[in-house]
Each structure stands twice: as structure tokens, then as C-alpha cells.
């Protein structure tokens, strides 16, 4: 590079350290392609990450070879190969490490023929057209920091769009006019938000303004692709930065409208906090409460993060200004749980994730009031049983939901939740809370009442479950007496 800045020189130093230790198998692959008369270059994320000092054994390459020529070369190079992306010019292969002459770990590569895609601008699906140069291939990539390449095996750096300078400045900019880039593939706008979260980069103003003006184009992208980008954003080190880009650009209005809707207008009396800012803070605090791999909620936890992000989405629909000067959001947890399930279903999340996240939203207020009055052991049992396998996440969501600046209030809430957790542990020592069952099972209920299978058995079971919650285990004999008394009252 002519006249590199000190930041660019530091990036080059890092990249050199990573690239010179690049898997020997990948260097060998470059030599194989050259011997066959083809170009091969490391491209995209692996190059960007090398300049950031990060190495990877999952490598993306671009080549002048046709897919069939690539397949033949990878078949000879790898221990396994696949051609599932052949229609788009991509062939994959894997080489196992740990063998003689292969001291590095497993190496996974994907090699794609130079591309010069055109888009139909209706479905964002590219009309695949193969290109004839590395520079042309790089121009079709999403951002300049991902439009750098290293030719192998010689390790020659190629940067036609100034990606290294943008990487040093921590800026996201498109290689071509942003309007054209986003019109070709609107999902790139979501990627800008994701990279802001993952890399801590800012979006260059022209690129950002193009996204603002074209945000509605995201609607042609499939819900599954949008969801995948949202997941990567939420599972990053700084989701807040990415979410702020989504909201400020208007993209969230189309993919997650419940989030910008939280920017409730604050009335002149400031009778409630900024729910949008509160939500982002709750998300950050929930992330801080995630655990290591051996802990109860290993980081990063998508269910907890989604629940923190969506826990207050019912507030806009339930806000009421009271006559006495207050403001209420009665039953916003119930309304929010329904909205959460609807949104996650629209984004094509799986049923288990939808069920877990919406249940956490529904339960997130259950604790409030614990410090104001004495919960009975029955109430503690219900709390644990209703949370079920989500209890550890509920602990963290409830604690994260405290964003008050009043230190006394924050300390009181924390101490109250500490007390609740101690009571849960005490009751756990006395009985298996997670496996609470009535003192009589379904078969015994039918025998006591002299009935066969049917709705009445379920009603009786629920009665005994309520009894179990209220009084703890009373034994089979006492449960029979209570059941018979209940049955007599029903009759």
C-alpha cells in the first residue's frame, strides 16, 4: 500500500502473522490450482479476520476455475467434498488434520467460481453469471471490508475498494453505490446492522442513508434469511449497536416493528421511563448474567436474549394515563406474550423457541410484589412449577428487568430476589420442586372415584395439583379423603 497509516500498518502486521501460519493444506491447494492453470484467492471474512488477528480453519476462496474443474481438484485434495452449491458455482471440501504431514486441525474450504450476479429485484434471487476476474468478483460483495482478497499460494494482497482503510477506520461501506448494492440484495442492509454488532463498526453515512431510503426493500427477503441475520446480531458481543442501526434506519419497522414501537412518546410529566432504552438496557444486563459453558445459562443464549428484547412489547397497547397522574400498563405481560409468539412465528422460529420466549415474557412480572408481602410456600412452588425448565432464564430476566437509578430501590429488589432464590433452594432440599405431582396419579383417581377415563379425571387431577401446591405433600390417604370430599361437592 502507498503511504499506509499507522493503523493500517498495524493491521498488516496482524494479517502477516495470521496468514504466514495459514493451514499448509490451503497453501498447497493454491499451488494445485495454479498448476492446473487457474487462479485461487482467499476472500471475504477469513481475510478480514486475518487483519483483525483472528485465524480460521474454515476458508472461503474465489477462483477462475469452473465448478466442474474445481470439483475435480478438490476431489483430489480433500478427504471429503460436496457440490450442493454447484448451481451457484460453489464446491466444498474438508481435509482432516492430525495425520502425518498435516499437523494443523481439520480444514474446511468452499471454493466459488468468480461471479458477476444480476438480480431480478423481485425475490433477491441472483441470476447466476460467472465472471472472469477477481476484481469483478470483489465488487459484488456486501462491504469493502469483505471485498479484500489474498492470492494463494503467493499471499499477494488485493484491495481494489479500499477495504483495509475502512477496516482501520472501523467503517462499513459498500464497494459500489449503496443504492445499487442494496437494490441488488436488500439483505445486505441487515448485514450492516449485524456487522455493527459483531465488529463494533459504524455505518458510513451514505451507506446508512441509502438503507434508510430503501428499508422497505427488505420485505422481498424471506423471513428465514431475516431471522438468521437477526440471530447472528443478537448472539454477537454487542447486540445493542446492531439493534440501534435497525431502528434508526427504519429496517426494524419492517422486520421487528415491536421494537421501534417501544419508543413511546414521553408525556410532559415524564410519568414513565423510556421503554425502548429500558429494553436495550435489560438486554445488556441479561447478557451480563449469562454463564460460562458449565453454568445454568451458557452464553450466548438466544432464548434469554429474545425474551429480554421482547419482554415489554405489550406496553404500547396497554398504556393508560390514570386520573391521579400515574400511568399503567395493566396485563402488558399477557398481551406481550401473544405479540411475541405472533412475531416469532412470522420470522419462522421453531416451535420450542416460540414457546419458551413467549412464556418468559408472560412470566417476567410474576416476581414483582414478592418483596411487598409474604409469599407462602405454595406461591413459591407455583413460581417454580410455572417456570419449569425456564427457571434459570427467568431468574436472569427478572433481575435484568431492574433498571432503576434509585440505588435503594434496586438494592431492595435484589435482596428480595436473593431471598426468593434461597427459599427455592430450601424447598428443593425438602422436595423435588421440578417434579411436583399430586399425591394420587390418574389410575388411583379412577379407582377412588369409580370412574373410567374421561374429562372428570383431568378435573380431579387439577384439583389435587392445586392441593399439592397449597399444602405440600399430604400423603395418599389424606389425598383420598380430600378427593372424595371434592367429588361429593361436584355431585
For domain 171-256, the CATH class is: mainly alpha
Q: pTM of the predicted model, to two decimals? A: 0.82
Q: Give me the percent of the chain exceeding a pLDDT of 70.
A: 90
- 36 — pLDDT class (breaks 50, 70, 90): very high
Write the pLDDT tens digit of every residue in 385-407: 889 899 999 999 999 998 888 88
Range with the poorest average pLDDT among 202-216, 241-255, 380-394, 420-434: 420-434
Largest CA distance in the chain: 93
Domain edges within the chain: 1-169, 171-256, 282-435, 442-490
pLDDT given for residue 410 in this prediction: 85
Burial category of 34 from C-beta neighbours within 10 Å (exposed 0-12, middle 13-18, buried 19 and up)? middle
Residues 6+ apart with CB under 8 A from 54: 18
In DSSP notation, 114-139 reads: -B--EE-SSS--EE--B-S-HHHHHH
Mean pLDDT of the chain: 88
Comparing CA positions, the residue from 315, 299, 298 lying closest to residue 364 is 315
CATH 3.40.50.970 fits 1-169, yes or no: no
Range with the poorest average pLDDT among 98-102, 203-207, 303-307, 458-462: 98-102
pLDDT given for residue 269 in this prediction: 45
pLDDT given for residue 221 in this prediction: 95
- 408 — pLDDT class (breaks 50, 70, 90): confident
pLDDT given for residue 472 in this prediction: 75
Write the pLDDT tens digit of every residue in 319-366: 888 777 678 888 999 999 999 999 999 999 999 999 999 999 999 998
pLDDT given for residue 264 in this prediction: 76
What angle in degrees, to the nearest 10, is found between the helix axes of 24-35 and 67-77? 130
Amino acid at each position: 500500500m502507498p503511504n499506509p497509516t499507522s493503523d493500517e500498518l498495524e493491521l498488516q502486521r496482524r494479517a502477516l502473522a495470521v496468514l504466514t501460519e495459514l493451514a499448509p493444506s490451503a497453501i498447497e491447494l493454491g499451488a494445485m490450482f495454479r498448476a492446473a492453470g487457474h487462479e485461487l484467492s482467499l476472500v471475504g471474512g477469513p481475510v478480514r479476520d486475518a487483519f483483525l488477528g483472528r485465524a480460521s480453519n474454515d476458508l472461503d476462496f474465489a477462483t477462475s476455475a469452473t465448478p466442474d474443474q474445481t470439483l475435480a481438484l478438490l476431489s483430489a485434495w480433500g478427504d471429503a467434498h460436496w457440490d450442493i452449491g454447484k448451481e451457484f458455482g460453489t464446491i466444498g471440501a474438508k481435509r482432516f488434520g492430525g495425520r502425518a504431514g498435516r499437523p494443523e486441525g481439520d480444514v474446511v474450504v468452499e471454493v466459488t467460481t468468480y461471479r458477476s450476479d444480476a438480480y431480478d429485484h423481485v425475490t433477491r434471487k441472483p441470476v447466476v453469471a460467472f465472471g472472469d476476474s477477481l476484481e469483478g468478483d470483489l465488487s459484488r460483495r456486501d462491504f469493502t471490508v469483505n471485498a479484500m482478497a489474498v492470492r494463494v499460494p503467493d499471499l499477494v494482497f488485493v484491495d481494489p475498494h479500499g477495504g483495509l482503510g475502512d477496516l482501520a477506520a472501523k467503517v462499513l461501506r459498500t464497494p459500489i453505490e449503496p443504492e445499487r448494492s442494496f437494490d441488488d440484495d436488500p439483505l445486505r442492509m441487515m448485514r450492516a446492522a449485524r456487522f455493527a454488532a459483531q465488529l463494533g463498526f459504524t455505518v458510513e453515512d451514505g451507506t446508512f442513508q441509502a438503507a434508510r431510503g430503501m428499508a422497505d426493500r427488505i420485505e422481498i427477503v424471506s423471513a428465514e434469511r431475516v431471522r438468521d441475520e437477526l440471530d447472528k446480531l443478537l448472539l454477537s458481543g454487542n447486540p445493542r449497536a446492531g439493534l440501534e442501526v435497525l431502528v434508526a434506519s427504519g429496517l426494524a419497522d419492517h422486520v421487528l416493528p415491536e421494537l421501534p414501537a417501544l419508543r413511546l412518546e414521553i408525556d410532559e410529566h415524564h410519568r414513565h421511563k423510556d421503554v425502548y432504552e429500558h429494553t436495550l438496557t435489560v438486554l445488556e444486563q441479561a447478557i451480563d448474567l449469562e454463564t460460562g459453558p458449565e453454568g445454568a445459562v451458557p452464553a450466548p443464549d438466544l432464548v434469554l436474549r429474545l425474551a429480554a428484547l421482547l419482554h415489554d412489547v405489550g406496553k404500547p397497547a396497554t398504556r393508560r394515563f390514570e386520573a391521579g397522574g400515574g400511568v399503567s400498563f395493566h396485563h402488558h405481560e399477557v398481551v406481550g406474550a401473544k405479540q411475541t409468539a405472533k412475531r416469532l412465528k412470522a420470522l419462522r422460529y421453531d416451535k420450542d423457541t416460540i414457546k419458551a420466549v413467549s412464556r418468559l415474557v408472560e412470566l417476567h412480572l410474576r416476581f414483582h410484589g414478592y418483596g411487598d408481602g409474604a409469599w407462602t410456600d405454595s406461591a413459591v412452588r407455583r413460581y417454580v412449577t410455572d417456570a419449569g425448565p425456564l427457571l434459570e432464564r427467568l431468574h436472569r430476566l427478572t433481575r435484568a428487568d431492574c433498571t432503576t437509578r434509585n440505588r435503594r430501590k434496586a438494592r431492595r429488589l435484589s435482596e428480595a430476589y436473593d431471598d426468593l432464590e434461597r427459599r427455592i433452594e430450601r424447598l428443593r432440599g425438602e422436595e423435588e420442586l421440578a417434579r411436583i405431582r399430586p399425591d394420587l396419579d390418574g389410575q388411583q383417581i379412577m379407582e377412588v372415584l369409580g370412574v373410567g377415563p374421561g374429562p372428570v379425571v383431568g378435573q380431579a387431577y387439577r384439583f389435587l395439583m392445586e392441593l399439592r401446591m397449597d399444602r405440600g405433600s399430604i400423603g395418599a390417604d389424606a389425598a383420598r379423603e380430600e378427593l372424595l370430599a371434592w367429588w361429593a361437592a361436584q355431585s
